[in-house]
Amino acid sequence: MNQEPAIVGIGATPYYFRGESLPQTKHELIGKAVIAAADDAGLPITAIDGIAGYASGVIEPGQLTEMLGLPELNFAALIAAQGGGSAGVLDLAALAIQTGRAHTVLCLGACQQSTNRYGVTFANMAATPDNVWASAAGLQGPGQTMALLTRRHMHLYGTRREAFGEIVIASRQAASTRPTAIRRKPLSMDEYLAAPMLSDPLCRLDFCLETDGALAFIVTSAERARDLRQKPVHIAASAHGGARNWGRAFFWLNMPDEDFASTGSAHTARRLYAQAGITPQDIDVALLYDHFSPLVLMQLEDYGFCPRGEGGPFVESGAIRLGGSIPVNPHGGHLSEAYVIGMTHIREAVEQLRGTAINQIPNAKYALVSGGPAPIPLSGAILRSAA
Amino acid sequence: MTEISARRDLSTLEIPTDAWTKPFWDATAEGRLLLPQCGACHTFRWPPGPFCPACRSQHTQWQPAGQGLIYSFTIIRAKDQPPTVPALIEFPEAGNIRLIAAIVDTSLDAIVIGAKVKQNWAKAGDTNVPVFTI
């Protein structure tokens, strides 16, 4: 078990509303997060000998070593992704530690939307032979394609907008106690239902925040972790990949009917539970990638917290609240705290398992972290507190 | 008051093509909607590409799409603009391929999952983009 990897340091910049991180550069934000993570671990930054980055919005390994004076790298990999791979940085780091390729691996993720608004990514992309149908149809960003999945879920299972509202309301409630959160004002169901429709059935409040920030994590072996400053958080399972029937997801939109109104994550979920040797009932807190609220509901189904099609009533029962059967995103998530492409979810999982979270789940032992429902690779991890 | 889904002006839209998508746009230029089918195992695929994902054959034949049905749709509301309705149109006669295309000139009340759609066109450069009405 000593080969098991553990997260021993976390570092983050403040979270900024879109554009407010300027004039800091994105690389500067990343550098500050890395320095903070090494400090948190009680390790010199020069101990870092591996990088596992999330390709979207991050920095080239060579540039990072130059900028921060890292003496040498024995592992340097970026996981390709458009949201799906975010938790996959932990899988890459785990591989490097388990194989002995590197001893101290840095996981990284960042975004600065002042330079690139993800919500209109399709509109910003040059038309290609493969994507021209979407732009011709008037689709401008991922939210509008998620609306297609969402309407299908409502059609098949009778899912109501009130369920999506409950997800947003629960996230606001969690964020209300957190100084790091951008949206802390409590929200009522009436306010939710009255919010303007952007891409029916999705209203403005179903879309996540647009924010800037960088986060970094230090991963090493559980054996070495015992001698470090923080209570280690073990990576009990990690996975990236996905099934062909999900493929490019919202760029494809031809997923078979049984997979269309889902998040494609059932494949990742099966692998994670098998690797960790546990079931969904063992998870104490779920950090689910919440770029759009209905996709939280569909992930709850794919990760086995409720049967397929029953996510609506499950959420409306209060199950995902603090104190519910599976608390989801007690940090407020992308919907209310900040959007840094999944990285804030990893941070919250670590804080929950260290026992230092602001909205602490009592005696949390297992935390699930998911990458975004997006094109393959999808990803996820199950983290475990040190005994 | 019933709202009507808008028809966007696509006349200046440039349609990039490659060897595998060009037959689609050559056909739409002539007012025909054709979808790609494997010439070996007859599996339909979307988007058009160099291999059949079922048998890896490169032999492709283009078939009439047939009657389309609404599989899903969204109503996009931008400030001070009429609603637009991108939709997934499914073609049961062509292996349930789904095409993403706008539903235009149609009362929003009539746009429901499962509705049969009628073929229509929007001029785009030298060709036509498929759009649908009900």
Q: Which sequence spans correspond to the domains of chain B? A: 22-133
> Which of A129, A136, A144 is facing B18, going by the closest CB pair?
A129
pLDDT higher than 70, residue A292? yes
- Give me the mean pLDDT over the B9-26 stretch: 95
My answer on whether omega of the bond before B82 falls inside 30° of 0, hence cis, is no
Strands A50-54 and A75-79: parallel
ipTM: 0.97
Tell if the CB–CB gap between A136 and B98 is shorter than 8 Å.
no
Q: Which of A254, A258, A262 to mutate to test the interface with B (most CBs of B within 10 A)?
A: A254
A217, A346 contact by CB (below 8 A):
yes
Residue in chain B lying closest to A196 (CA):
B77
Query: Which residues on chain A are in Cβ contact (under 8 Å) with B13?
Result: 127, 135-136
The average pLDDT across B97-108 equals 98
Using omega within 30 degrees of 0 as the cis cutoff, is the peptide bond preceding A201 cis? yes
Q: If contacts are CB pairs under 8 Å, which of residues 158-197 in chain A contact chain B?
A: 196-197
Q: What are phi and psi of B128, to 5 degrees?
A: -125, 140
**Catalytic residue of the set A16, A118, A303, A339:** A339
Is A118 catalytic? The answer is no
What pLDDT score was predicted for residue A141?
A: 86
Neighbours of A47 (CB within 10 A): 15
Catalytic residue at A289? yes
Going by C-alpha positions, the residue among A343, A381, A367 that lies closest to residue A83 is A343
A200, part of any domain: no
Output DSSP code: residue A251: G
Question: How many domains are there within chain A?
Answer: 1
Q: Which residue of B has its CA nearest to A151?
A: B72
Q: What whole-number distance in Å separates Cα of residue A215 and Cα of residue A75?
A: 19
Say whether pLDDT at A119 is over 80.
no
Whether A229 and chain B come into contact, CB under 8 Å, resolves to no
Q: Is B30 on the interface with A (CB under 8 A)?
A: no
| pLDDT class of A113 with cuts at 50, 70, 90 | confident
CB contact under 8 A, A128 and B75: no
- Is A336 domain-assigned? yes
pLDDT at position A349 over 80: yes
Report phi then psi at B109, rounded to 5: -60, -30
A51 near A76, Cβ under 8 Å? Answer: yes
**Is there a contact between B46 and A254 if contact means CB atoms under 8 Å apart?**
yes
Q: Best residue in A161, A253, A292, A298 to probe B by mutation, most B CBs within 10 Å?
A: A253
- CB-CB under 8 Å, A137 with B86: yes
Residue-wise pLDDT for B37-71, tens only, equals 999 999 999 999 999 999 999 999 999 999 999 99
Q: Does A154 touch chain B (CB under 8 A)?
A: no
Encoding tokens for residue A136? 């011709």
What's the mean pLDDT in A234-245? 96
Residue A250, SS3?
A: helix
The whole-angstrom separation of Cα B30 and Cα A64 is: 54
Q: What is the pLDDT of residue A120?
A: 61
Q: How far is B20 from chain A (nearest CA, A)?
A: 9
List the beta bridge partners of residue B122.
B129
Q: Give me the percent of chain B exceeding a pLDDT of 90.
A: 95
pLDDT band at A149 (very low <50, low <70, confident <90, very high): very high
Judged by CB atoms closer than 8 Å, whether chains meet at B76 and A135 is answered as no
- Interface contact flag, A200 B77, Cβ < 8 Å: yes
Question: What does the DSSP assignment read for A301-363?
Answer: HHTTSS-TT-HHHHHHTTTTSTTSSS-B-TT-IIIII--STTHHHHHHHHHHHHT--TTPPTT
DSSP per residue, A54-108: ESTT---HHHHHHHHT----SEEEEE--SSTTTTHHHHHHHHHHHTTS-SSEEEE
Contact A155 B10 (CB under 8 A): no
The pLDDT score that the predictor gives to residue A125 is 66
* A7/A383 Cα distance (integer angstroms): 9
In the structure encoding, which two tokens stand for residue B40, read together?
């070996």
Q: Is B100 an interface residue toward A (CB < 8 Å)?
A: yes
pLDDT of residue A72 exceeding 90, the answer is yes
pLDDT 10s digits, A179-233? 999 999 999 999 999 999 999 999 999 999 999 999 999 999 999 999 999 999 9
Q: At residue A114, does pLDDT exceed 80?
A: no
Q: Give the rounded percent of residues in chain B with a pLDDT score beyond 70.
A: 99
Q: Is residue A240 part of a domain?
A: yes
Provide the shortest C-alpha distance from residue B123 to chain A (in Å): 11
What residues make up the domain containing A101? 5-116+208-385
Query: Which DSSP category does A212 fall into?
Result: E
Contact residues for A336 (Cβ-Cβ < 8 A; gap 6+): A168, A171, A172, A174, A175, A181, A182, A183, A184, A209
Whole-number pLDDT of residue A55: 84
For A327-336, how does the pLDDT look when each residue is reduced to its tens digit (9 = 90+)? 999 999 999 9
User: In this predicted structure, what is the pLDDT of residue A83?
Assistant: 75
Whether chain A has a CB inside 8 Å of the CB on B53: the answer is: yes
φ, ψ for residue B116, nearest 5 deg: -75, 140
Residue B104 pLDDT greater than 70, yes or no: yes
A-chain residues within 8 Å CB-CB of B18? 129
By the 10 Å C-beta count (0-12 exposed, 13-18 middle, 19+ buried), B67 is classed as middle
Q: What is the pLDDT of residue A123?
A: 59
Band of pLDDT at residue A80, cut at 50, 70 and 90: confident
Give the residue on A whose Cα is nearest the Cα of B54. A244
Q: CATH number of the domain that A291 lies in?
A: 3.40.47.10
- Residue A116's pLDDT is 66
Question: For chain A, what's the residue count?
Answer: 387
Residue A334, in any domain of the structure: yes
Helix (H) or strand (E) segment spanning residue A381: strand A378-385
d(CA B42, CA B44) in angstroms, rounded, equals 6
Q: What is the mean pLDDT of residues A138-148?
A: 93
CA dihedral A201, A205, A208, A209 (to 10 degrees): 150
Closest by Cβ to A138, choosing from B8, B15, B124? B8
- Please check whether residue A345 lies inside any domain of the structure: yes
- Residue A378: inside a domain: yes
Residues in contact with B133: Cβ distance below 8 Å, sequence separation at least 6, in sequence order:
B103, B104, B105, B106, B117, B118, B120
Question: Cis link prior to B130 (omega < 30° from 0)?
Answer: no
Mean pLDDT of chain A: 94
What per-residue confidence (pLDDT) applies to A147? 98
Give yes or no for residue A1 having a pLDDT over 60: no
Q: What is the DSSP string of chain B?
A: ---B------TT------TTTHHHHHHHHTT--EEEEETTT--B-SS--SS-TTT----EEEEE---EEEEEE-EE--TTS--BEEEEEEEGGGTTEEEEEEE-S-BGGG--TT-EEEEEEEEETTEEEEEEE-
Cβ–Cβ contact B70 with A under 8 A:
no
